[in-house]
Structure 1
Amino acid sequence: MLRKPYTAQAPAAQRVELYQKFGAGSWRYVETREVALGPEPQWLAFDVTDALRFWLAGHEPWGFFKLSPHCSCEDDHSTAEILFQIDGFETFRGDMGKVKMQGQRLPFLLATATPPERAAQLQSPRHRRAAADTAYCFGTEEKNCCVRKLYIDFRQDLKWKWIHEPRGYWAHLCTGACPYIWSSDTQYSKVLALYNQHNPGASAAPCCAPETLDPLTIVYYVGRKAKVEKLSNMIVRSCKCS
């Protein structure tokens, strides 16, 4: 979606939240964004992958999103409305109105899909071994570099009491051997592995490390005010030898 130019005197930015229609009369939190307010238009992007999967699974006949200002019930000065406008929601009348509507840049949803023949290749053992992700590692007894399940309880394991929700999450970890040319995506990893094979005491071997990580949304309190934040790189989805 495109934020229209904003010229009024106001804060430099506004925090907004995107919600997904979920069931009858309820909304599910998707993501938070800090939107800069300025004279130049700005494209705003949200990751709605989970919402799209939910709709494609047939859980909802129609998909709706709602953009709301971030508002703390404990804050009397919080903004109750969105300060900026999104292009594409204006209505015009008459013949000139149709021309103006054609010039609007409407919000859009960008989705990518995998053709059936490509999906079959991704499920082949040869390809899956190169992609050491959760879809492969959790369903096999692979001994080499792979994602392993690991659940972390914030209070018990880390002694963190400041995170209100969730109480814990599946962080996962990367572990396993990295033999010669196993999941190596660079020539450096291959050379290092081969060098270590011939000189075991001279150099460290390639190690199994995270390749793809997902964020985690948490709820915490500052005083009596609830805050929602997205922590980046918290969940391991795939591993590689490097």
Structure 2
Amino acid sequence: MKKENLLFLVIPVSQILILLGNITGKRSLNFWGYGGIVLSVAADLLLLYVLIWSSRREKLRKELQELSYLQETERMQNEMLEAKQKELLDMRSDFEKRLEEIREKLKRGEEEAACLEMDAFQVSLDETRPADYCQNAVVNAILSEKEKEFQKLGIKTKLALMIPRGLKLDPLHLCSLFSNLIDNALEALAEIPQERRELELNAEMKGAYLFVKARNASEKSHAVRKRRKGRGYGTQILQELAKTYEGNYQAGYEKGWYTAVVMVKAV
């Protein structure tokens, strides 16, 4: 039982002590005395019901939060997979078209033009290889996907990630951690002029804990804005993740910059 709930036991205990005092003191109880005892017992039963109901409601609230978190994580994972699948299909179609062009040029004896086309094709292949931001494949996949949004919004990025492969974090949770940190930053950056759009992302291991810090330019009005419908769940998810992995989440705004730090036990 929670400590605050124990305080409510003072009421029935005090009533029992008063009753015992009257009995041991050989004081007789009249009609009103017995009536008071009955009402006290009824009040105690009502209090017990309220405590049990409150406890069940709190448990249900936490279960709903966990369900919402899992649904949000699954949604983000599905979106990433769908985007990656579409990208691969587009790449395959483009590569098949270019290979056919090279074959046609070779058939026509245009060897020099075919060689130039093959060189350009090799450059395209090199560009499609995922960038290595760190040793962790999950984080690399997320940042490769988010890099397109950075370029689209003209965001200057500074990334310093020292994340090993063998983390004892659920891949979905690791995906959720970085996705929500970055998405929160992107939402704030989209609201300011392009020349001010800067994002710093740092991550490193300290003992058994993974520390991830996101720092982005932001308007104060965005930093203090209350949660809106369909928005604002990223912070709540990060808080729940930190709690799940015996860590901590802190965030704050200062002089045009918003900083969020997540610490989770990862090994």
* TM-score, with structure 2 as normaliser: 0.22
Larger Rg: 2
Higher relative contact order (CA 8 A, sep 6+): 1
Question: Relative to total residues, which structure has the larger helix share, 1 or 2?
Answer: 2
Q: Per residue, is there more strand in 1 or in 2?
A: 1
